[in-house]
């Protein structure tokens, strides 16, 4: 029973209590860079979720075979391989999304969220816990990026998931699609998120 | 299982094994995706051709004409369109490095007389929500059925007749330049285009 509770905890902590974006502030580069629309945020989140899941699985499986002095280069090779695979698959089968995410796909390699989870969790825990941890953290990341993207898209373009709800000529807060808008929106969302999560706990 | 010791041999072997496995799996995935990748690219090109060219019955991709020009680094691609063996127009790839974030690549379709039939954006990295609006109907409509020989495709700020995109003058300017380049190349190579049917 305690074991089961623990596993649920492994999964849930990434979504609220240790949300990678709003609480741990990890992976800021893609968070700020690609979230100019809800769809871009979602796409980036899902790509990261996949890489995180695969790298956590592999790291957890091979952890006892890697001498600790070379663990970081080993993890990086594993992560970089999965990122390259994601890039090739996206380019071949979802070219539309590949074009949208562009330069940010190779940058998943240096997303500290992924290396962070490999180092802090997967290299110390068993396979099942690592999978749940990756799913939880990944989902937390997806939710955060989609929320940020949605806020910026609504304010900046007057649309949500490309569905426009203001007229063609309406003035929108263009600032929010530009880089400074990312920082402003992220800051307010972080405040809001933490206020709510502190209240409920 | 206990943790492997940090001996030199252990470190070399484990890194070696990891890189070998990573290398082979990447090669394997590359083999799987190289076909679909090329197909996706070709499909995109063919779709763009259908959008920008007048009705045609040849295969423009087979009849492609490549020309070297000082206007662009790579050779410029031109796709002639024929209907019942008569030359009806051509699609020319225009590009410029002067976009707000570098390269903008567009495909411009001309009819026989050099009037712009339609334009399709192939590659761009402009600011989402600002520069990317160059793909919108409202902006593109300004170019349709115009002939750059008697219609100034510069933005109004530079004395032209194109209304620039709000907040994206640089993009609009670059776009006009790419169209101009495509037109210049089309005019220069019209004769060879007419003969390029295989």
- Domain-wise residue ranges, chain B: 53-194
pLDDT recorded at residue A201: 65
Give the side-chain half-sphere CA count within 13 A for A37: 19
pLDDT > 90 in chain A, percent: 6
pLDDT recorded at residue B1: 47
- Closest residue, chain A, to B29 (C-alpha): A85
- Name the most confidently modeled range: A3-7, A27-31, B67-71: A27-31
Whether B4 sits inside 8 A of A65 (CB atoms) is yes
In 3D space, the residue among B96, B78, B107 whose CA is nearest the CA of residue B190 turns out to be: B78
Decide if A181 touches B, using CB distance below 8 A: no
State whether residue A11 is helix, strand or coil. Answer: helix
Residue A35 burial (CB < 10 Å; 0-12/13-18/19+)? buried
- As given in the structure block, the two tokens for residue B157 are 């700020």
- As given in the structure block, the two tokens for residue B176 are 């006009």
Query: Helix A38-62 and helix A127-157: axis angle, to 10°?
Result: 170
Decide if A159 touches B, using CB distance below 8 A: no
- As given in the structure block, the two tokens for residue A27 are 């992976």
Residues B157 and A119: their CA atoms lie apart, in Å, by 55
Of chain A residues 59-88, which have a CB less than 8 A from chain B?
Answer: 62, 64-70, 73-74, 77-78, 80-81, 84-85, 88
Helix segments in chain B, DSSP class H: 8-52, 137-140, 169-188, 190-194
Decide if A190 touches B, using CB distance below 8 A: no
pLDDT recorded at residue B190: 79
In this structure, the dihedral spanned by the alpha carbons of residues A73, A76, A82 and A88, taken in order and rounded to 10 degrees, is -100
- Closest residue, chain A, to B30 (C-alpha): A88
Of chain B residues 102-161, which have a CB less than 8 A from chain A?
Answer: 123, 125, 127-130, 138
| pLDDT digits 0-9 by tens, A158-188 | 778 777 777 766 677 878 878 888 899 899 9
Task: State mean pLDDT over A120-124.
Answer: 82
Residues B97 and B108: their CA atoms lie apart, in Å, by 17
Whether B33 sits inside 8 A of A66 (CB atoms) is no
In 3D space, the residue among A29, A11, A42, A20 whose CA is nearest the CA of residue A116 turns out to be: A20
- As given in the structure block, the two tokens for residue A150 are 């949605």
- Model-level ipTM above the cut of 0.85: no
pLDDT recorded at residue A168: 66
The whole-angstrom distance between B170's CA and the closest CA on chain A is 15
State whether residue B163 is helix, strand or coil. Answer: coil
pLDDT recorded at residue B150: 80
Q: Which of A64, A92, A99 sits opposite B37 (nearest CB)?
A: A92
Phi-psi region of A158 (alpha: psi -120 to 50; beta: other; left: phi over 0): left
| pLDDT digits 0-9 by tens, A30-44 | 888 888 788 888 888
Whether B44 sits inside 8 A of A92 (CB atoms) is no
Decide if B2 touches A, using CB distance below 8 A: yes
Q: Which of A66, A73, A81 sits opposite B4 (nearest CB)?
A: A66
Decide if B9 touches A, using CB distance below 8 A: no
User: Looking at residue B168, what DSSP letter applies?
Assistant: B
Q: Which residues of B43-52 are buried (b: 16+ CB within 10 A; e: fewer)?
A: eebeebbeeb
The whole-angstrom distance between A177's CA and the closest CA on chain B is 7
Q: Which of B5, B15, B35 sits opposite A74 (nearest CB)?
A: B15
pLDDT recorded at residue B72: 66
Contacts of A150 (CB under 8 A, 6+ apart): A38, A41, A160, A161
Q: How many CB atoms lie within 10 A of CB A79?
A: 24
- As given in the structure block, the two tokens for residue B189 are 């190579």
pLDDT recorded at residue B93: 85
Decide if B192 touches A, using CB distance below 8 A: no
List of chain B residues whose C-beta atoms are within 8 Å of the C-beta of residue A62: 18
Mean pLDDT score of chain A: 83
To the question of pTM greater than 0.90 for the whole model, the response is no
pLDDT recorded at residue B24: 93
Decide if B31 touches A, using CB distance below 8 A: no
- Name the most confidently modeled range: A2-11, A133-142, B80-89: A133-142
List of chain A residues whose C-beta atoms are within 8 Å of the C-beta of residue B130: 174, 177-178
Domain ranges of chain A: 12-200
Task: State mean pLDDT over A16-21.
Answer: 80
For chain B, which ranges sit under pLDDT 50? 1
Residues B147 and B50: their CA atoms lie apart, in Å, by 20
pLDDT recorded at residue B112: 82
Residue A103 has pLDDT above 70, yes or no: no
- Closest residue, chain A, to B33 (C-alpha): A92
Residues A61 and A118: their CA atoms lie apart, in Å, by 11
Decide if B195 touches A, using CB distance below 8 A: no
Residues B35 and B14: their CA atoms lie apart, in Å, by 33
Q: Which of B25, B35, B40 sits opposite A81 (nearest CB)?
A: B25
């Amino acid at each position: 029973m305690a074991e089961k509770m623990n596993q649920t905890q492994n999964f849930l902590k990434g979504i609220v209590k240790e949300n990678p974006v709003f609480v741990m502030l990890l992976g800021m580069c893609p968070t700020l860079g690609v979230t100019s629309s809800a769809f871009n945020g979602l796409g980036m989140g899902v790509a990261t979720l996949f890489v995180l899941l695969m790298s956590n699985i592999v790291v957890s499986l091979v952890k006892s075979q890697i001498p600790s002095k070379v663990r970081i280069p080993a993890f990086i090779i594993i992560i970089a391989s999965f990122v390259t695979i994601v890039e090739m698959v996206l380019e071949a089968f979802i070219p539309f999304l590949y074009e949208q995410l562009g330069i940010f796909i190779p940058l998943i390699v240096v997303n500290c969220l992924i290396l962070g989870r490999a180092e802090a969790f997967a290299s110390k825990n068993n396979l099942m816990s690592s999978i749940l941890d990756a799913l939880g953290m990944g989902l937390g990341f997806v939710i955060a990026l989609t929320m940020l993207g949605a806020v910026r898209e609504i304010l900046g373009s007057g649309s949500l998931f490309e569905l426009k709800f203001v007229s063609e000529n309406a003035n929108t807060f263009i600032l929010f699609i530009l880089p400074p808008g990312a920082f402003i929106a992220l800051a307010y969302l972080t405040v809001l998120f933490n206020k709510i999560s502190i209240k409920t706990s | 299982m206990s943790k492997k010791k940090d001996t030199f041999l252990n470190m070399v072997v484990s890194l070696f094994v990891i890189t070998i496995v990573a290398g082979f799996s990447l090669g394997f995935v590359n083999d799987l995706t190289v076909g679909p990748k090329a197909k996706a690219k070709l499909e995109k090109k063919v779709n763009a051709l259908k959008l920008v060219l007048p009705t045609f019955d040849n295969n423009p991709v087979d009849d492609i004409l490549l020309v070297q020009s000082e206007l662009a680094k790579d050779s410029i691609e031109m796709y002639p369109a024929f209907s019942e063996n008569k030359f009806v127009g051509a699609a020319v790839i225009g590009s410029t490095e002067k976009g707000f974030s570098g390269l903008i690549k567009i495909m411009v379709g001309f009819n026989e007389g050099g009037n712009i039939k339609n334009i399709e954006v192939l590659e761009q990295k402009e600011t989402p929500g600002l520069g990317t609006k160059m793909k919108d109907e409202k902006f593109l409509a300004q170019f349709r059925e115009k002939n750059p020989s008697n219609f100034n495709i510069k933005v109004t700020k530079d004395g032209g007749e194109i209304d620039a995109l709000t907040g994206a003058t640089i993009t609009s300017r670059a776009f006009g330049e790419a169209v101009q380049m495509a037109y210049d190349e089309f005019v220069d190579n019209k004769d060879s285009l007419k003969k390029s049917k295989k």
